[in-house]
Structure formats: structure tokens, C-alpha cells
Amino acid sequence: MTIERMSQRLATPRSLIEARLAAPERLGELEAVAGRYAIAVTPALAELVKLGDPADPIARQFVPDARELVRDPAESDDPIGDDAMSPINGLVHRYPDRVLIKLVAACAVYCRFCFRRERVGPGSGALSAADFAAALDYVRARPRVWEVILTGGDPLILSPRRIAEATKALAAIPHVKVLRWHTRLPVAAPERVTKAMARALIADGTTTVVAIHANHPRELTEPARAACMRLWAAGAMLVSQSVLLKGVNDDVETLADLMRAFVEARVKPYYLHHLDRAPGTAHWWVPIAKGQELLRALRGRLSGLATPTYVLDIPGGRGKVPIGPQWLAGDGNGGYVATDPCGTEHLYVDRPGEES
């Protein structure tokens, strides 16, 4: 089987080998990983893999690795504490003004570092009608909920009809003003992001935000950019989400190219996530100190328009916090020292009548 002739996802170890995304001698290793975690690579992503290069940043994200079965003591089945913050099935309420609803527990493609990898996969299905109705009742009863985040899995694998039903039901709640959809689909299967799907995300009286996940600039192909354009043309605001991953984007040139590619696709760089401690993901770990230095270097290369916020989701459901480099520090005398993008320090006095 050649990549050019594939019409279906690669969802078994043998199909990955037949497509030459993995060497034949790796069959046993791949089957061992597949026995634990879901596998799927879409044709759009398979075409991006540099065949024969196991260090290829696209292959590293989607082709299974035996190290996924090695569990670090710090890793958790629920690394960001969804369960602790789930008052009802399928809904997470971590912050006062927003809730997260997991519409579906399957994806078009399975990232090997996924923080919900213990809960997603083929056959997991969608949130039941009864559970979605309960989620609607929960939101209706809490006027402080201003934003609803739709996630999974990947909610855009649902049909436009089902997406429109969810959009309409949530938009009918007067205090819900923002609907935010988290997805990989514009990158993983851009042909599925149709005009009908884009329209299904939009409702009068609410702002629709689509958070698009990509980690390497090669993922933002022309078809992916066209999919983003269809979402933007329908009226959605587009923001990005990326994960800092060793061997994928842990250098300043790749990150700068990725953020510029987002902006060119009308996607505002939003979050660069520190890796969540999901089982079997330690080989992608980048130290926070290195992440901070990368963000410092990015600030010297990119405008604020193209610079994401580096964030940590504190384990145990404690919330997301910025962990980027610090540009301002106290000088010990009531003033401040500001560091410019070139690394030079400058005294700044924050009092009327005194010059810095």
C-alpha cells in the first residue's frame, strides 16, 4: 500500500508498516503499544511523514513507540484532574465562568502524548443524549457560566447535524456567550472541515472560538490553511494550541515557524502547553527551564501577535497558569529591573516624579 492510494486511516500496526511509516521488524513493538493505546493516522498526516526517518517530527507524534509502555512514577491516568472536577458525567467545571463538555471520546488521529489517552479510542462513542441533556441543565442552573468548551476526543468528528444541534442548544442558554471548540481536524483531515460544518459551529448571540491543535509548521499545509479559512469565513475566531515536545518543536526556529504559520492561516497563537504527565510520555518531556528560554528567544524574534503563552496545567485539577520567562523583577529598593528581548537589564522606577 502506498500513501498516495490510501483512502482510510491507518489504525493497525500492520497498516503502518505497509504504508512504510514503521519498519517491519517493529511489528511486535507496535502491537504491544496498540494493545494498550489507540492508533490512528489519517492520510493527510501520513503524507507528511518523511519515510525511513524515525526521528521525523510528524512520525514522532503519531507512530507508536515502545517507550509509551514505560511508566514514570510521576505520571497519572488523569494528569490534569478532570475526574476531581466532574460533577456530572462528561462535564468538567474547574473555573467559575466556564465549563468543559466532552462530546465524544474518539479522534480522527491519536497523538501519542495525549493527556486523555487512557479515556479515548475507537468504540468509546459520544456523550449520550441523556448526559448531554444533564449537562445543559447544569449550565442553565449556573448563570456565572459565560463560556462552554466543547472537547473530547475531537468534537468535530461529529456530523454537521449533530454539531449544529449542540451549538443551538448551548446558544439558547442566555448567559452562555462563548462556545469554544477544541480540535485537530483542520490539520488531521482538512477535507472534513466543510462549509456545512463551519456553519454548524455558528449561532446568533454567541461568539464561536475554534482552538486548533498543531505542533510543527509542516502540519499547516495548504489544505489545512484552507480548512482554517472556511472556519474563519463562517465567523469563527481561531486560536492555536500546541504542546512543547522533545524532538518535535523544542527549538526556537521550529517554534517561530509554527507561530508564523498559524498567523498566516488567521489563527492567533494562544497556548504552548508544558507536557502533561500522562502515562508513557516521559520521552517527550522538555524541562520548564528550557521552555522558558525558548519563549524568551521567541519574544526577541516575534511580535506579540505571534507569541503564545507558555502554560502549565497544575496536576490535580488546580488549573492552568502561565510559566513563561519573567521580564520584570524587584531591585530591592522599591524599584524594578526590566529585561529587554536582547537580555539587557534596565532600571524602571514605578513612582510619579522619578525618572528611570
Question: β-strands 268-273, 309-314: how paired?
Answer: parallel
Active site residues: 94-95, 98, 107, 111, 114, 116, 276, 313, 320
Q: How far apart are CA 227 and CA 230, in angstroms?
A: 5
Q: For residue 214, which of 291, 251, 267, 279 has the smallest C-alpha distance?
A: 267
Q: How far apart are the first and last CA of the chain?
A: 67
DSSP one-letter code for 41: B
Kindly give, in sequence order, each residue whose CB lies less than 8 Å from that of residue 318, ignoring residues fewer than 6 positions away. 81
Give the C-alpha distances (Å, rounded to integers) separating 18 from 2, 12, 27, 53, 241.
Answer: 8, 10, 11, 15, 32
Query: What Å distances lie between residue 315 and 74, 92, 115, 253, 305, CA to CA?
Result: 10, 15, 11, 30, 29
- Greatest CA span in the chain, whole angstroms? 74
Overall size of the chain counted in residues: 356
Amino acid identity, position 104: V
Buried b or exposed e, range 292-320, using 16+ CB within 10 angstroms: bebbbbbbeebeeebbbebbbbeeebeeb
Q: Are 306 and 316 in contact (CB under 8 A)?
A: no
Q: Which grid cell sits at 57?
A: 517530527
> Measuring CA to CA, how many Å separate 126 from each of 187, 211, 237, 351?
22, 20, 25, 57
Provide CB contacts within 8 A for 174, sequence distance 6+.
none
CA angle, 33 as apex, 290 and 8 as ends, to 5°? 100
